[in-house]
Amino acid sequence: MDSQSTDQNADLMLDGNAVAGLLQEIFATEVTIAPVQCASCGQEGEVGTLLAFTQGPGVVLRCPACERIILRVVQTPQHIYLDARGAAFLCIPKPQ
Amino acid sequence: MKSVLEWQIATVQAICQETHRVKTFTLALPDWSPHRAGQHYDIRLTAPDGYQAQRSYSIASEPERRGELDLTVERIENGEVSTYLHDVLIPGDQIEVRGPIGGYFVWEASMAGPLLLVAGGSGIVPLMVMIRHRRAARSTVPTRLLYSSRTAEDIIYAEEMDQLVATQPGLGIYHTLTRAQPHGWTGYARRIDVDMLREVATPLGSALRSYVCGPTSLVESVADQLTALGLPADRIRTERFGPTGGTL
């Protein structure tokens, strides 16, 4: 079970739009309009609507409906770690 | 064309004090690409020891203004990036930027409307660029902005708003001042509530698009109230401005 308290501070909460640049680095395309489904509650919405917590060492994106974690991103000098186990799917547009 | 994710060195051309806590920075870009109203640029600062801090700021200038862009930034006490921009940066300085970024919170004149824009504090920036774009594109889409500020002195772009209302057909701007009101104030004087939203939104009809930007508390309550007024969720676009002025 994810901790619901350690990284959650509503005053510092942003949304998926605020991490659009980081997500575009990972997916090589604009994904804030990409549909994503929460693996916990089944809510489907666009990545831009996810709740973003960016004050920690990484970025945590949570479901706006159930507040469970959908995506985690951590950057090291050489790599980007993406933990997407909270997403049932993320639908990314193919490059045209 | 350069990727929007490649960092480039922008030169500060001008700095305009908008309110006591808000400045607009005009940046000249070596590789300017067209943006959409509501998109962001990332700014990255690097300390001598290699430590980097990065923030995302809404573009304030309309896409029709080519080659340069405005970023309007609120000074956040203890903010890593906004204090540097406000206290240190002078015209001629250079900073690292990348963009334009984002596709969720955008409006283009071709998307039509009617438009209901709801802003709190510096959340006005991406909504103002939509209004500037509307003017530049000669759009007459019925548009109403409801803008919540603490005091009259905190209203960003106040003079330009008055001019726009006087010259742009179909545009209405409604202010609410939550903390203090000047003598003779005729606008709203409370936090945005469902009655206020109904009064502002009703003349636009039910098929409107809404964009809400501001602090999380305002965004959440306004989104809930718009839902209560019967607006479908896919017609409510929100963007939260954290106290850090937008992180990452």
DSSP for A62-91, please give it. Answer: E-TTT--EEEEEEE-SS-EEEE-TTEEEE-
Using a CB–CB cutoff of 8 Å, tell me whether A15 touches chain B.
yes
Burial of B63 (0-12, 13-18, 19+ CB in 10 A): buried
Contacts of A30 in chain B (CB under 8 A): 101-103
Give A2→chain B minimum CA distance, Å. 23
Closest-CA residue of B relative to A59 is B248
> Cα-atom radius of gyration of chain A, to the nearest Å?
13
Three-point CA angle A59, A61, A63, nearest 5°: 165
Instruction: Select from A13, A32, A54 the Cβ nearest to the Cβ of B104.
Output: A32
Instruction: Select from B98, B243, B246 the Cβ nearest to the Cβ of A18.
Output: B246
Stretch (H or E) spanning A44:
strand A44-46
Contact assignment for A20 to B40 by CB distance below 8 Å: yes
Q: Which two tokens stand for residue A91?
A: 């639908």
Say whether the ipTM exceeds 0.90. no
Q: Kindly give the confidence (pLDDT) of every residue in chain B, 248 residues in length, as a single tens digit, with 9 standing for 90 and above.
A: 568 889 999 999 999 999 999 999 999 999 999 999 999 999 999 999 988 888 899 999 999 999 999 999 999 888 889 999 999 999 999 999 999 999 999 999 999 889 999 999 999 999 999 999 999 999 999 999 999 999 999 999 999 999 999 999 999 999 999 999 999 999 999 999 999 999 999 999 989 999 999 998 899 999 999 999 999 988 999 999 855 444 33
Say which CATH class B109-240 falls into.
alpha beta
Contacts of A13 in chain B (CB under 8 A): 216, 240, 242
Instruction: Select from A25, A32, A55 the Cβ nearest to the Cβ of B102.
Output: A32
What distance in Å separates the CA atoms of residue B227 and residue A64, rounded to the nearest whole number?
Answer: 15
Contacts of A46 in chain B (CB under 8 A): 104
Give B149→chain A minimum CA distance, Å. 18
Give B131→chain A minimum CA distance, Å. 20
Residues of B contacting chain A (CB within 8 angstroms): 4-5, 40, 42, 54, 56, 98-99, 101-105, 216, 238-244, 246-248
CATH code given to domain B8-101: 2.40.30.10
Q: Mutation target for B interface from A9, A14, A30: give the one with most B CBs within 10 A.
A: A14
Contact assignment for A20 to B101 by CB distance below 8 Å: yes
Half-sphere exposure of A81 (CA within 13 A, CB side): 11
Q: Where are the domains of chain B?
A: 8-101, 109-240
pLDDT for the residue B1 = 56
